[in-house]
Structure 1
Amino acid sequence: MTTAKPYLTGHYTPLVDEVTATDLTVEGTLPPELTGRLLRNGHNPKPGITPTHWFKGSGMVHGIRLRAGRAEWYRNRWVHTPALDGAPYMTETGPDLTASTAGTHVIEHAGRLLALCEANLPFELTPELETVGAYDFDGKLRTAMTAHPKEDPVTGELHFFGSSPIPPYLVHHVVDAKGQLVHSAEVPGASAALKHDFALTRRHVVFIEGNVTFDPQEHSGIPYAWRDDQPARIGVMPRGEDGARHVRWFSIEPGNMLHVSNAYEDGRGRIVLEGPTVDREGFRLSWNWWVGAPGRGTEPNTRSFTRRWVIDPAAGTVDEQIIDDLAVEFPTLNEQYQGVENRYQYAVSFPDEQGFGGYGVVKYDRSTGARRIHRIGDARLPSEAVFVPAAGATREDDGYLLTVVSDLKQDASQLLVLDACDLDRVAAVHLPHRVPGGIHGSWIPDTPADRPAA
Structure 2
Amino acid sequence: MTSTPPHLLGNYAPVTEELTAHELSVTGRIPAELSGWYLRNGPNPHAAASKHWFLGDGMVHGVRLENGRAVSYRNRWVRTSTFTDGARAFRDDGTRDLTAGVANTHVVRHAGRTLALVESSYPYELTAELETVGPYDFDGALQTAMTAHPKTCPTTGELHFFAYDVVTPPFLTYHRADAAGKLLLSRPIDVPAGTMHHDFALTGEHVVFLDLPVLFDLETAMAGGGMPFRWSDDYQARLGVLRRDDPHGEVRWFEIASCYVFHCLNAFDDAGRIVVDVMRYPEMWRTSADVAAEATLWRFTIDPASGTVREEQLDDRAAEFPRIDDRLAGLDSRFGHATVLEGDGGALLRYDLHTGERTAHEFGDGRVPGEAAFAPADETPGGAGYLMTYVYDAATDRSDLVILDAGDLAAEPVATVHLPQRVPFGFHGNWLADR
- Normalised by the length of structure 1, the TM-score is 0.91
Map of 2:365 onto structure 1: 378
What letter matches 2:256 in structure 1?
Answer: I
CA contact (8 A) 1:264 1:341 kept: yes
Q: Deviations over 1:402-452 (max 9, x none)?
A: 0111112111111000000011210011111011111000111104xxxxx
What letter matches 1:429 in structure 2?
Answer: V
Give matches, 1:158-237, under 5 Å: 158-165=159-166, 166-189=168-191, 191-218=193-220, 219-237=224-242
Map of 2:289 onto structure 1: 287
Give matches, 1:361-440, under 5 Å: 361-391=348-378, 393=380, 396-423=382-409, 424=411, 425-440=413-428
Identical positions, percent: 48
CA contact (8 A) 1:66 1:72 kept: yes
73-82 vs 320-329, which moves further: 320-329
What letter matches 2:360 in structure 1?
Answer: I
Map of 2:274 onto structure 1: 271
What letter matches 1:248 in structure 2?
Answer: R
Map of 1:452 onto structure 2: none
SS at match of 1:246: coil
Map of 2:429 onto structure 1: 441
SS at match of 2:32: coil
What letter matches 2:322 in structure 1?
Answer: P
Task: Output the CA distance in 2 between the equivalents of 1:189 and 1:55.
Answer: 25
The CA deviation at 1:87 is 2.2
The CA deviation at 1:210 is 1.3
Task: Output the CA distance in 2 between the equivalents of 1:110 and 1:190.
Answer: 34
CA contact (8 A) 2:108 2:114 kept: yes
Task: Output the CA distance in 2 between the equivalents of 1:136 and 1:187.
Answer: 20
Give matches, 1:296-315, under 5 Å: 297=292, 302-315=293-306
Task: Output the CA distance in 2 between the equivalents of 1:9 and 1:196.
Answer: 25
Task: Output the CA distance in 2 between the equivalents of 1:101 and 1:189.
Answer: 26
The CA deviation at 1:191 is 3.5
Q: Deviations over 1:52-80 (max 9, x none)?
A: 11111000001111010011111000000
Map of 2:118 onto structure 1: 117
Task: Output the CA distance in 2 between the equivalents of 1:16 and 1:143.
Answer: 32
CA contact (8 A) 2:227 2:289 kept: no
CA contact (8 A) 2:240 2:254 kept: yes
Question: Is 2:331 the counterpart of 1:340?
Answer: yes
Q: Which runs of 5+ in 2 are unaligned?
A: none
Task: Output the CA distance in 1 between the equivalents of 2:287 and 2:268.
Answer: 31
SS at match of 1:315: coil
Q: Deviations over 1:308-362 (max 9, x none)?
A: 11110010001102221111000000112111112111000122xxx5x841101
Task: Output the CA distance in 2 between the equivalents of 1:274 and 1:14.
Answer: 33
Map of 1:292 onto structure 2: none
CA contact (8 A) 2:230 2:288 kept: no
SS at match of 2:209: strand
Q: Deviations over 1:216-272 (max 9, x none)?
A: 1124232211011111110000013x42322101111001000000011112x1111
CA contact (8 A) 1:256 1:283 kept: no
What letter matches 1:273 in structure 2?
Answer: V
Task: Output the CA distance in 2 between the equivalents of 1:347 and 1:75.
Answer: 25
What letter matches 2:415 in structure 1?
Answer: A
The CA deviation at 1:286 is 8.4
Structure 1 stretches of 4+ with a deviation exceeding 3 A read: 282-286
Map of 1:28 onto structure 2: 28
CA contact (8 A) 2:229 2:285 kept: no
Question: Is 2:127 the counterpart of 1:126?
Answer: yes
Task: Output the CA distance in 2 between the equivalents of 1:102 and 1:120.
Answer: 8
What letter matches 1:229 in structure 2?
Answer: D
Task: Output the CA distance in 2 between the equivalents of 1:286 and 1:169.
Answer: 23
Q: Which runs of 5+ in 1 are unaligned?
A: 290-296, 448-454
- Normalised by the length of structure 2, the TM-score is 0.95
Equivalent of 2:248, from 244, 252, 263?
Answer: 244
209-218 vs 411-420, which moves further: 209-218
What letter matches 2:392 in structure 1?
Answer: S
Name the count of aligned residue pairs.
427
Q: Deviations over 1:101-132 (max 9, x none)?
A: 00000001011011000010000111100001
User: Does the C-alpha gap of structure 1 residues 271 and 392 become closer, same or farther in structure 2, counting only changes over 3 Å?
Assistant: closer
